């Protein structure tokens, strides 16, 4: 439907009737009908110097670090679409589970007002003995209930995996091998369970799309990530980290799709793989030896809205 004052050269002051509605409908004296629409204008994010990028009739803003999303003109629809992913959990050192992916939240049709929203992007958890959980990511303002994605759980270090947006994988070896839970529910999946005896394989961390793999003849694979087309192209993010193998017994597990780091198989001075930055993916677990587990990948916040 054409915008106001563009049909057959009819000027705005020749409107015959106004039919109301959130996007006002007008009828000219000769019977033509069209719609006058106010479009959203906003700033913030790291892409295109904070002005956002265009895909079709949408504009999207990507935040890879903390910042502000400021709506200077609120469109008639007064809604946004968002993707909020927390930082992934770190993979622990020695007989270690893979880190869980950061919590994954997405929605369309989210009502907003013409204010400035605070954006926090969670960092990935650090590898260690034990590793640490990832940090939360959020969109917040006094006018809304904060949208908070929970950091991914760390992989177990001679212990169960840690709870998080997606849970960390359980450790292998003669220890507590149980999976880390996905907590709160609805943001991801649990990690897998490690093997308590030979081959001492640890489990993969959970991903946004599936649970982490259990340890078996090798370390468990990381849970798969989820795909989103919020930027116009399908991108998979938030994969779980692979579980560690154990030197002389088993290989490390692969990282989950979407950026999960692979686990390490126990070679002397080996290192697991970090989760991919700005995907919220988990880091891989370390087997035997004196190397490092994988750090979790940092999170990301993406906001999209109609602008034309």
190-221 exposure pattern, b = at least 16 Cβ within 10 A, e = fewer: bbbbbbeeebbbbbbbbbbbbbbbbbbebbbb
pLDDT digits (tens, 9 = 90+) for 80-91: 999 999 999 999
The pLDDT of residue 4 is above 50: no
Q: State the Cα torsion 7-12-18-23 to the nearest 10°.
A: 70
Question: Whole-prediction pTM value?
Answer: 0.88
The tokens describing 178, both together, are: 């149980």
Q: What is the chain's mean pLDDT, rounded?
A: 88
Q: What is the mean pLDDT of residues 256-268?
A: 90
Given a cut of 70, whether residue 9 has pLDDT beyond it is no
Q: Which residue's entry shows tokens 């002051």?
A: 13
Name which of 290, 213, 216 is nearest 251 in CA terms.
216
Contact, 204 vs 191, CB < 8 A?
yes
**Ramachandran region of residue 77, left (φ > 0), alpha (ψ -120 to 50) or beta?**
alpha
* For range 30-43, the mean pLDDT: 69
Q: For 264-285, what is each residue's pLDDT tens digit?
A: 987 766 789 999 999 999 999 9
What was the pLDDT predicted at 5?
42
172 vs 37, more confident: 172
Q: Which letter, b or e, does each residue of 134-154 get, where b requires 16 or more Cβ atoms within 10 Å of its Cβ?
A: bbbbbbebeeeeebbbbbbbb
Lowest-confidence pick of 42-46, 171-175, 184-188? 171-175
């Amino acid at each position: 439907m054409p915008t106001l004052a563009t049909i057959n050269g009819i000027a705005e002051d020749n409107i015959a009737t106004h039919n109301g509605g959130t996007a006002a409908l007008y009828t000219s004296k000769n019977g033509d009908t069209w719609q006058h629409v106010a479009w959203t204008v906003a700033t913030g994010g790291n892409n295109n110097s904070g002005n956002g990028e265009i895909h079709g009739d949408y504009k999207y803003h990507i935040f890879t670090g903390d910042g502000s999303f400021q709506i200077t003109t609120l469109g008639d629809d007064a809604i946004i679409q968002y993707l909020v992913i927390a930082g992934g959990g770190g993979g622990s050192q020695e007989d270690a589970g893979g880190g869980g992916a950061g919590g994954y939240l997405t929605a369309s049709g989210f009502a907003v007002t013409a204010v400035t929203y605070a954006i926090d992007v969670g960092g990935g958890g650090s590898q260690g003995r034990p590793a640490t959980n990832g940090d939360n990511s959020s969109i917040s303002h006094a006018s809304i209930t904060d949208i908070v994605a929970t950091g991914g759980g760390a992989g177990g270090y001679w212990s169960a995996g840690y709870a998080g947006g997606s849970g960390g994988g359980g450790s292998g070896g003669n220890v507590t091998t149980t999976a880390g839970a996905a907590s709160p529910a609805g943001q991801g999946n649990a990690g897998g369970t490690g093997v308590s005896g030979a081959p001492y394989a640890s489990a993969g961390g959970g991903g946004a799309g599936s649970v982490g793999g259990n340890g078996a003849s090798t370390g468990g694979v990381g849970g798969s990530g989820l795909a989103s087309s919020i930027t116009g192209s399908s991108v998979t993010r938030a994969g779980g980290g692979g579980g560690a193998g154990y030197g002389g017994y088993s290989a490390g597990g692969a990282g989950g799709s979407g950026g999960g780091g692979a686990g390490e198989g126990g070679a002397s001075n080996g290192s697991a793989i970090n989760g991919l930055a700005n995907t919220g993916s988990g880091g891989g677990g370390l087997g035997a030896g004196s190397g490092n587990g994988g750090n979790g990948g940092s999170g990301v916040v993406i906001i999209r809205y109609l602008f034309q």
